[in-house]
Amino acid sequence: MAVRVQEAIFDPGRLLADFTKARQSTGGIASFLGLVRDAHGGRTVQALTLEHYPGMTEKQLHAIEAEAHRRWPLLDSLIVHRVGRMLPGEPIVFVATASTHRQAALDACAFLIDWLKTDAPFWKYEETGEGGHWVEARASDKMARDRWQS
């Protein structure tokens, strides 16, 4: 299990290669890569800034990662999330899960992403040609998260 919150850009191919290395007992690895979009809500996005409270953010990410391990028989997981100012096309989040069976890896990965989109302690500020504004979680993201309520 690993969580990293960082400003530095990351190489998703390298993250996936490192995550899969020497995993002979793994039956399936699921991964998700989130990128900064160049448009949102009909506006052109020039940049996205994510703010957070260091320490609190990592604690919350570790807690949700532990919850995924309680719900599914995972062999390992990785969450890498960027903060700071990012440009369209840059990676913002990478999640990977490994299990002996593909469905557990797929479900756990989806669970983690749904939580990150709605409840992770990040605050998003979009810069557009029309000015800047704070971004709230969408209703569809909350509905996706709610399917995991038990």
Angle made by CA atoms 83, 89, 92, in degrees to the nearest 5: 25
pTM for the complete prediction?
0.91
Would you give per-residue pLDDT tens digits along the chain (150 residues)?
Answer: 899 999 999 999 999 999 998 777 888 999 999 999 998 888 899 999 999 999 999 999 999 999 999 999 999 999 999 999 999 999 999 999 999 999 999 999 999 999 998 888 899 999 998 888 888 777 666 676 678 886
**Domains within the chain, CATH numbers bracketed:** 2-134 (3.90.1170.40)
**Cα separation, 51 vs 41, whole angstroms:** 21
The interaxial angle of helices 56-71 and 102-118, nearest 10 deg, is 150
